[in-house]
Amino acid sequence: MVRETTARNGGRGRGHDAAGYELDEIDERIIAALRHSGRIANRDLARIVDVNEATVRTRLRRLEDTSSVRVVAMRDLSAMGYECLSAVGIQVKGRSAADVGRDLAELEEVVTVNVAIGTHDLEVQVVAHDLADLDRLLTHVIAHIPGVEKMVPGLALKVLKYTPDWAPL
């Protein structure tokens, strides 16, 4: 279990308005420490950030209430055997992009779905165990979803940056 973080100054909080909440240096240090170890005890976190434990508890509660931080479990894609990562631009015909996107979002191998403007109606990211699995996913699964007109996949040869600690809430 890790604490997934997003350092944004907006969004929907649980009863608190995050729009007026600005992260300060202490908040940023707490978030940085949580990114390193989401299971860290508040006592240890307080020592690292150099504040008392009550301050850490208060700050964490506010960060969670303003939807700046949340606790989630995250999958390690390579540990699960996914060796291929592909960005796929999709053009849609005969259905709305949002409807096709919802169908794509149901697939376990699809890790992101974005309705886009520009060359593609949808931009998705998919993972596969190997090239044969990627071929199967693209040609026998995604290509047969009603409304998928054209796909433009790109295979990641080397991932230089992947930041899974930013997510929409």
The pTM assigned to this predicted structure is 0.66
C-alpha closest to that of 27 among 54, 44, 52, 7: 7
When the pLDDT of each residue in the chain is averaged and rounded to a whole number, the result is: 86
Instruction: Report which residue type is found at 102.
Output: R
Query: pLDDT under 50 in the chain at which residues?
Result: 1-16, 169
Q: What is the pLDDT of residues 129-158, one digit of tens each?
A: 999 999 999 999 999 999 999 999 999 998
> Is 64 buried (19+), middle (13-18) or exposed (0-12) by CB count in 10 A?
middle
Q: What is the per-residue pLDDT for 9?
A: 39
Q: How big is the chain by its Cα radius of gyration, in Å? A: 20
Q: What is the per-residue pLDDT for 116?
A: 97
Q: What is the per-residue pLDDT for 111?
A: 93
